[in-house]
A and B are shown apart, each in its own frame.
Chain A
Amino acid sequence: MRTIPNILEKMLKYRYKFLLFKSQIRLHYGNAFPNNSYCNSPGYPMNKNSILFLTLFTAIVFFQSCDTKLLPTFGDDLSKSDSLFLGFHLGMAQKDFFDQCTELNKEQKITQGPGGTTNVEYRIVDGYESEVSMRFFPTFIDEKIFEMPVTYSYIAWAPWNRQYWAENLLDEVLEKYKVIYGEDFKLIDHPTQGKVHYKMDGIRRINLFVKDEQFVQAVFTDLKVEKRLKEEFEKSQSEENKPSN
């Protein structure tokens, strides 16, 4: 009986489980995911519903099968730890984000990235084993930054340049993050994602992990907004499950 290499094992695990999860979500969301086409129909869910689903999905990923002590507790006095990088912060207005991007672009610090969640590219020349590409683009809720996914990869990545694979880059990014955001990152061994380094300060949660051989992924999340979205989701679920008269 042959055991599949570790990285493939991880991918296969989460892919298989996603199959099961998707079928459950389809029961909940019904027409939000049309069965007959993966292209959009006119009845495709509003953008916010999609964000809601993705957000809860991401939140559940990290917390549903983990130690519940990891769940954030929201007291009345959340700190203002909302800063990200390059002058961006959680809760930043969308317009301010684009204005900041324009300024950074004029200073030639950032360029247009490939697109999607990697719309903006920042090249890090010094401080790493080799030049690193940092790409990011926020998710906006109510036209404010709710979440900021970031990817890191060595420019010199190639299948044969094993020294530049993401597993090595992760250690370097983590060290940089400790300097910037504080030392107290914790490590969990997530059943599907493998090693995930995380830190929570006030409203900001940082997750850091290997996405695949090439990319390290960081996700900065506004926990206050996430909590609100979760409450809205739970409310919508309970309304759906109410017996009809």
Chain B
Amino acid sequence: MKKLINIRYFLIGLGMSYFASSCVDLEEEVFSAVTADNFFKTDEEFISALGQAYTSLGGLGNHSGLWSINEISSDAITISHKGGDWFDGGVLLQLHQHEFKTDNPFLQNSWNFLFGGINTCNRLIFSFEALDNPNSPAFIAELRALRALYYYWAMDAFGNVPIVTDFTDVVAPETKTRKEVYDFILRELNEIIPLLPVTKDGTTYGRMTKWSALMIRMKLYQNSEVYTGTAQWALAAADASEIINSGPYSLMPSYKDNFAINNSRSTENIFVYPYDKVFAGGFNWVMMTLHIVSQSTFNLTQQPWNGYQTVEEFYNSYIDPVKNPGVQGPVWKGLALTQSNGTIDGRLSNFLVGPQVRADGTTLIDPGVEPTDPTGRNGDPNGPPLTFMPYLNEISPGGLRQAGARIAKYEFERGGTNNMSNDFVIFRLSDVILSLAEARFRLGQTSEALALVNQIRARAGNLDPYNTLTDENLLAERGREMYVEMTRRQDLIRFKKYGDAWWPFAGMNRPKRVHTPGSFLELFPIPSPQLLANPKLKQNPGYN
């Protein structure tokens, strides 16, 4: 019961930003001033205050923030300009085509998300440091871990960012190099990892633990060559091994159960954001990806937005028998006119493809469908019945309304609202296993690496084990397993594939920009309003 009380208080704190304020009955005790003497007396009060630091993470499941810039700039996800919808001033096209502009609002939203989270951590650290309370050091360590997470994301996306740790400091900071930020994060993690809890239970669910902090450090080491120029594969392997061998996590028997509506009992999820459709909203994927009339499929309270789509090549990496050998069966491909044979990878649960129906099983009609074109190039090949086809005809301006496999990784709730209640997975054991595999591969320990990758393939279901490991199939396996978990852009950069041409861009009128490994485009530009507001900040090289 104590554990449930603790997590309940934590979630109460987590939901605080959802409400204007709170109230109690008319006989409340009104404080003329809140001081250390009349607050922070119990663990529950600390946890309640901590909740606000975690509430800042709620922006992850939104549209137009950090998750969006990472996924849309990758080869997995796009949002095509569909007639009058989704042009949005060209900002989405910029992201997918790698024509990043300094005034792109998605970059500004991401910056504000990251530094808003950092600011909240700094504020709470400041207040906890002022207290002479035995609980303070543990909670400060937790806040520093959370702050390290925000800085890791900022360094990964923007590279050269300022470092601010003092809430009371009003002096505008200057830009630090990516290496300086990397070193700062590493110092922080090295200091606090020994201080963080190791248990996995209701008291630590959704909070930073030793294992989630180790995960951040593992990611630093994994990408160290990109971040600093020096590879650290042995250190990455050591952290990954510690999480796998000593951590309280294990692979779930079923991949998709990690993303179910009620996924709080996953043994595999290491760090999550526990969304709730009433008290901790903001997880809007059900709106972001589904078609407008999909409202009738799931009896949703609101119409979805018909936005996010999977790039066809990426979807095909699941069903291609050569690239992903396994059991063959009927799958939807291309125009989705009929099913044909392909690998029935158990992780095809990631997608919503093929004909869609109402909740009662009857045909669902898209009233705004384009005129029929059997080729799918200039019109919908299936006509009015709603059919999600993996084929993407073009990115702009005539993207078809029913084009693209939709993101179904997180289970949609029948009768759901625009806010989903699935816990959003930030770190997962599967990523650790694949990261260890990659580290071993880079260190020449190929057979150990192969075994780890095949462990993931075996759990996915219906797949043959790989006989050999290559850069190509390792990257592809990471892609299939970690789809839309905000790792793809980072993986592509590390594997030197981020600058490749992808999508059937060849011959289209809006090609993706092709660039070489190490290009300045592997960093997003610092948003221009930030440079104007603080002249000490420097733009990333290569951008105006």
User: Which residues of A are at the interface with B, using a C-beta cutoff of 8 A?
Assistant: 1-5, 7-9, 11-22, 24, 35-41, 47, 50, 54, 57-58, 60-62, 64-65, 98, 102, 105-106, 108, 111-119, 121, 123, 130-131, 133, 153, 155-164, 190-193, 207, 209, 211-214, 217, 219
B34 touches A158 (CB 8 A): no
B534, CB-defined interface residue at 8 Å? yes
Which residues of the other chain, B, contact A41 by a CB distance below 8 angstroms?
262
B62 touches A65 (CB 8 A): no
Q: In the bound complex, how far is the Cα of B21 from the Cα of A57, in angstroms? A: 9
Q: In the bound complex, how far is the Cα of B62 from the Cα of A118, in angstroms? A: 9
User: Which residues of B are at the interface with A, using a C-beta cutoff of 8 A?
Assistant: 4, 7-9, 11-13, 16-17, 19-26, 28, 30-31, 33-37, 39, 44-45, 48-49, 51-52, 59, 61-65, 84-86, 88-89, 91, 105, 108-109, 111-112, 115-116, 118-120, 122-123, 126-127, 130, 162, 164, 167, 169-173, 261-264, 274, 276-284, 287-288, 301, 303, 305, 307, 413, 417-419, 421-423, 527, 529-530, 532-534
A151 → B minimal CB distance (Å): 11
Which residues of the other chain, A, contact B171 by a CB distance below 8 angstroms?
160
Question: When A22-B12, A112-B88, A130-B533 are in contact, do A4 and B23 touch as well, CB less than 8 Å?
Answer: no
B279 touches A38 (CB 8 A): yes
For B89, give its contact among A2, A108, A130 (CB under 8 Å): A108
B419 touches A65 (CB 8 A): no
Which residues of the other chain, B, contact A130 by a CB distance below 8 angstroms?
529, 533
A16 touches B45 (CB 8 A): yes
For A16, give its contact among B39, B64, B119, B301 (CB under 8 Å): B39
For B282, give its contact among A98, A115, A191, A209 (CB under 8 Å): A115
Residue contacts A-B, CB under 8 angstroms, 23 given: A3-B35, A15-B13, A15-B22, A17-B28, A19-B44, A20-B28, A38-B276, A39-B263, A39-B421, A40-B262, A112-B63, A114-B65, A114-B284, A115-B284, A115-B418, A155-B105, A157-B116, A159-B122, A162-B170, A190-B21, A193-B20, A211-B17, A214-B112
A217 touches B20 (CB 8 A): yes
Nearest A residue to B58 by beta-carbon distance? A116
Q: In the bound complex, how far is the Cα of B82 from the Cα of A102, in angstroms? A: 13
Q: Select the residue from B59, B63, B111, B280 with max chain A CB neighbours within 10 A.
A: B63
B533 touches A2 (CB 8 A): no
Which residues of the other chain, B, contact A108 by a CB distance below 8 angstroms?
89
Q: In the bound complex, how far is the Cα of B210 from the Cα of A133, in angstroms? A: 37
Q: Select the residue from B22, B65, B172, B301 with max chain A CB neighbours within 10 A.
A: B22
B166 → A minimal CB distance (Å): 10
Question: When A17-B22, A47-B417 are in contact, do A3 and B33 touch as well, CB less than 8 Å?
Answer: yes
Q: In the bound complex, how far is the Cα of B31 from the Cα of A160, in angstroms? A: 31
A112 touches B303 (CB 8 A): no
Which residues of the other chain, A, contact B120 by a CB distance below 8 angstroms?
212
For A115, give its contact among B62, B122, B278, B533 (CB under 8 Å): B62
Q: In the bound complex, how far is the Cα of B170 from the Cα of A164, in angstroms? A: 12
Which residues of the other chain, A, contact B49 by a CB distance below 8 angstroms?
11-12, 15
B534 touches A160 (CB 8 A): yes
A160 touches B173 (CB 8 A): yes
A113 → B minimal CB distance (Å): 7
Give 5 new A-B contacts, CB below 8 A, not counting A15-B51, A21-B22, A192-B22: A14-B22, A20-B24, A39-B276, A156-B532, A213-B116
B21 → A minimal CB distance (Å): 4
B130 touches A38 (CB 8 A): no
Question: When A108-B89, A156-B530, A217-B20 are in contact, do A4 and B36 touch as well, CB less than 8 Å?
Answer: yes
A114 touches B17 (CB 8 A): no
Which residues of the other chain, A, contact B24 by a CB distance below 8 angstroms?
17, 20-21, 24
Q: In the bound complex, how far is the Cα of B16 from the Cα of A61, in angstroms? A: 13
B418 touches A8 (CB 8 A): no
A144 → B minimal CB distance (Å): 14
Which residues of the other chain, B, contact A160 by a CB distance below 8 angstroms?
162, 164, 169-173, 534
Q: In the bound complex, how far is the Cα of B25 from the Cα of A20, in angstroms? A: 9
Q: In the bound complex, how far is the Cα of B118 from the Cα of A13, in angstroms? A: 22
A114 touches B62 (CB 8 A): yes
A13 touches B31 (CB 8 A): yes
For B20, give its contact among A16, A61, A115 (CB under 8 Å): A61
Q: In the bound complex, how far is the Cα of B167 from the Cα of A5, in angstroms? A: 11
Q: In the bound complex, how far is the Cα of B5 from the Cα of A34, in angstroms? A: 13
B39 touches A12 (CB 8 A): yes
A202 → B minimal CB distance (Å): 22
Which residues of the other chain, B, contact A7 by a CB distance below 8 angstroms?
123
A109 → B minimal CB distance (Å): 11
Closest CB pairs A-B (n = 8): A18-B22, A115-B284, A114-B62, A156-B533, A159-B119, A156-B529, A193-B21, A115-B62
Nearest B residue to A153 by beta-carbon distance? B112
B533 touches A1 (CB 8 A): no
Which residues of the other chain, A, contact B59 by a CB distance below 8 angstroms?
114
Q: In the bound complex, how far is the Cα of B277 from the Cα of A39, in angstroms? A: 8
Which residues of the other chain, B, contact A19 by a CB distance below 8 angstroms?
9, 12, 44, 48
Question: When A14-B16, A214-B116 are in contact, do A40 and B21 touch as well, CB less than 8 Å?
Answer: no
For A119, give its contact among B52, B130, B307, B418 (CB under 8 Å): B418
Which residues of the other chain, A, contact B530 by a CB distance below 8 angstroms?
156, 158
